[in-house]
Structure 1
């Protein structure tokens, strides 16, 4: 399970130049790399992510639950 507060702390790492780490944490690897190399799309994407973070965390947790349920069903 992904944690909302942990995601916000990772989002704050942009203040020291590590933008996109929060996206990698919630499973969005490629856009996380894009944020990392473009400094959060020049800061605009980083600000937008501040409002999108709760839904990203919910979606990552939901995808994990679905994967666990499908794995249990296969057995």
Structure 2
């Protein structure tokens, strides 16, 4: 989860203000909502209505972005853990196979010695 950096509500509001009260969609670019940000830029905040609505929805937009990004980071971490688990399982199987092979060689040696003893008697 070291790649996850939550977005700040304060920064989103500052970008809303800097973008002519949301009409340029800077806050939407900040929250990685590129399609709607371009629409906001081309239509002056969806004719000002969307920019005004964003003023009241900003808290929800930032929380939603942070939750989605946190879920992505957790999923990536889970995927990495699964990869490591599989690698460890392969190593463990290899170690078990090697141990069984060593045991087999040891048993073959014991059988060989017993056969020699049998022949000598």
- Fold conserved (TM > 0.5)? yes
Rounded to whole Å, the distance in 2 between the matches of 1:73 and 1:59 is: 21
TM, length-normalised to structure 1: 0.91
Aligned to 2:69: 64
Q: Which runs of 5+ in 1 are unaligned?
A: none
Higher RCO (C-alpha under 8 Å, 6+ residues apart): 1
1:18 CA displacement: 5.8
1:27 CA displacement: 1.6
| Cα separation, partners in 2 of 1:49 and 1:64, compared to 1, 3 Å | same
Rounded to whole Å, the distance in 2 between the matches of 1:62 and 1:20 is: 21
CA deviation profile, 1:28-73 (whole Å, cap 9, x unmatched): 1100000011110121111010001000000100011101100110
TM, length-normalised to structure 2: 0.58
RMSD: 1.7
Structure with the greater alpha carbon radius of gyration: 2
The answer to which of 29-38 and 9-18 deviates more is 9-18
Aligned to 1:13: 18
Contact 2:39/2:45 (CA < 8 Å) preserved in 1? yes
